[in-house]
Structure 1
Amino acid sequence: MTEGPIRPRTELIDHAPPVRLGTVDAPLRFSGPREPGGRHLIVDGVPAFELSFPCGTCAMLFRRLDAAARALAEAALHDHLDEHVPAIDDPSLRDLVSTVLPAGTYLPLLLSVEPVLVAPGGDLDYFSHEQVVHRGIDPNLGAPEDPATEYYRGSTRTTGAHETLFEFLVPMLPPSRNDRARVDAYETAFRAGGAATVLAVSVLDRTQPSDSVDAHTGLVHVVLDGHHKLEAAARLGVAVTVLAFVSVEASLADEATVTGLPGLLAR
């Protein structure tokens, strides 16, 4: 795992206006704040991740619940993303993505991200460091929040006088379950100048403690396809292309903030 200071590692390659995508019978869905048990990302009917509670002042969170969660892209979509960096407005790509996403409105982003692999409790773990400085430790927990998974960090940037935007890439499959040979193959391809794209569904969650003027916003990309590519890029310390569909309805940030993301990321 790479250790060291977190520097901006994300560039906005392209974006498109919000678009309606997805199907009502997709394998993935977000549970609403009024559903029992809080807010979750659900895969095949089973909660896979617990997400930030929608109170506005509660801590930012993504916590793995189901270690058996799976990569969601079918072979045709995986092959499409493996060939090249896609055009963000490619109708055939959007048709393929719609088989995975729940019906809703999404902001499409095409990003170049230099990911850093992070272990819970490690030197680069947001929950053990920046979140503790921001809001302290929850007295009910007596410890920092635990994401219960390794994850990747992208850029961290100041977006206002009291606003900081953190970027996370959360693999549906833990990196420990990646096939070593496939990771090695992507490393070889990246060294030769090859391009491949990671697919993610994303939420933009904003939290501000009631006793603070400072707010943290998390751009949380849940990786649906490209787990081996992502680990290979992190191991090499190079950028990988991420095609992210940010859910307007499932984000805690308001619609104007979600649709304004390209402006923040282009700074």
Structure 2
Amino acid sequence: MDAETHLYEFVVPMVPPSWNNEERVARYAAELARSAKLSAVAVSTLDICAPAVERGPDYYTHWALTHFLLDGHHKMQAAAIAERPVQLLSLLSVDASLAPPEKVGRVPALRQAAQAPRRAH
């Protein structure tokens, strides 16, 4: 990525949180409070959009990595309540993405670089 490009990630549930079982959500929230590692599963797509304006504070190319949640709705809601992370197994679709395959192929390295600890200079 460069200074003119930003990567955004979104998790999209397939059902509304109101459909989740409150007891199960509370149980997962308690597990997360004890430092448990929980996982969810999503199928993901990449879309790359050019800026909608000619110049301005949001003049960036937007890489939108959208994760459509298949399993783990209760865990995601619990993570939001507990303010704790959840691991996401993401199955990134090349064919369903609007971005070209060579850009989709860059996503794993970009995600790994974004998660690497930053060192002070």
TM-score by structure 2 length? 0.83
Q: Which runs of 5+ in 1 are unaligned?
A: 1-158
Instruction: Give 1:191 deviation, angstroms.
Output: 1.6
Partner of residue 265, structure 1:
111
Partner of residue 186, structure 1:
28
Aligned residues: 109
Instruction: Give 1:210 deviation, angstroms.
Output: 6.4
> Aligned partners of 2:86, 2:39: CA distance in 1, in Å?
7
**2:25 maps to amino acid:** V
5 Å matches for 1:138-153?
none
Partner of residue 117, structure 2:
none
Cα deviations by residue, 1:29-65 (Å, 9 ceiling, x for unpaired):
xxxxxxxxxxxxxxxxxxxxxxxxxxxxxxxxxxxxx
Partner of residue 173, structure 1:
15
1:243 to 89, 92, 102: 89
Native 8 Å contact 2:51 2:62 kept in 1 = no
5 Å matches for 1:189-208?
189-208=31-50
**1:193 maps to amino acid:** S
> Aligned partners of 2:52, 2:10: CA distance in 1, in Å?
24
5 Å matches for 1:69-88?
none
Q: Which runs of 4+ in 1 moved over 4 A?
A: none
Q: Which structure carries more relative contact order (alpha carbon 8 Å, separation 6+)?
A: 2
Partner of residue 8, structure 1:
none
> Aligned partners of 1:240, 1:168: CA distance in 2, in Å?
14
Structure (1/2) with the larger helix percentage = 2
TM-score by structure 1 length? 0.39
> Aligned partners of 1:167, 1:175: CA distance in 2, in Å?
19
In the superposition, relative to structure 1, how do residues 191 and 210 fare at CA in structure 2: closer, same or farther (>3 Å)? closer
Asked if 1:230 is matched to 2:72, the reply is no
RMSD, matched Cα: 1.5
SS at match of 2:36: coil
1:253 to 83, 99, 102: 99
